Amino acid sequence: MIEFPDIKSFKNINDGKVAINKAELVITNIGENLDLYPLPARLGIQAVNSEGKLVTILDALTGDGNYFGGSYKEPEYRFRITRYIQNIIQKDNYKPYIYLVSEGAAAYPNRLILQGTDTTKVARLRLEVYYTEY
């Protein structure tokens, strides 16, 4: 589970008058020995709605797979989750956490090792948010 514990603090900016222009979840692999333990070719995200049910976020349904992301492009996976973050801030229709899933995990035993959120590490898990106050 990946949590966004401070994301609702955007409601405190300019009385909540904030438009998320772009939000990307960046997941960097720090594992080695990729020949023995290959990376998943693609990752997915499942969100939890306000009723506690796992759902697909709207960003995943927008455009083609290139818009949403999830494919490995060395050294990281990127997910565009702009609408998901905007909905957390303005509508409260999602919980502020997601589940990361490896697509095809039942057939392909791949491995991904994450750094976590330690800000002293360059290859950390992070959410990049670009926004406008209005």
- Cα separation of 129 and 22, whole Å? 6
pLDDT of residue 69: 93
**Residue 73's beta-bridge partner residues?**
76
How much is the pLDDT for 65? 67
pTM of the model: 0.86
The β-bridge partners of 53 are: none
The count of other CB atoms within 10 Å of the CB of residue 3 is 11
Q: What CA–CA distance (Å, rounded) separates 86 from 114?
A: 26
| pLDDT tens for each residue of the chain, 134 residues long | 999 989 989 988 888 889 999 999 999 988 887 888 888 988 999 999 989 999 999 999 987 768 899 999 888 999 999 999 999 988 878 889 999 998 777 777 788 888 887 778 778 899 999 999 99
What pLDDT, on a 0 to 100 scale, did the predictor assign at position 21? 97
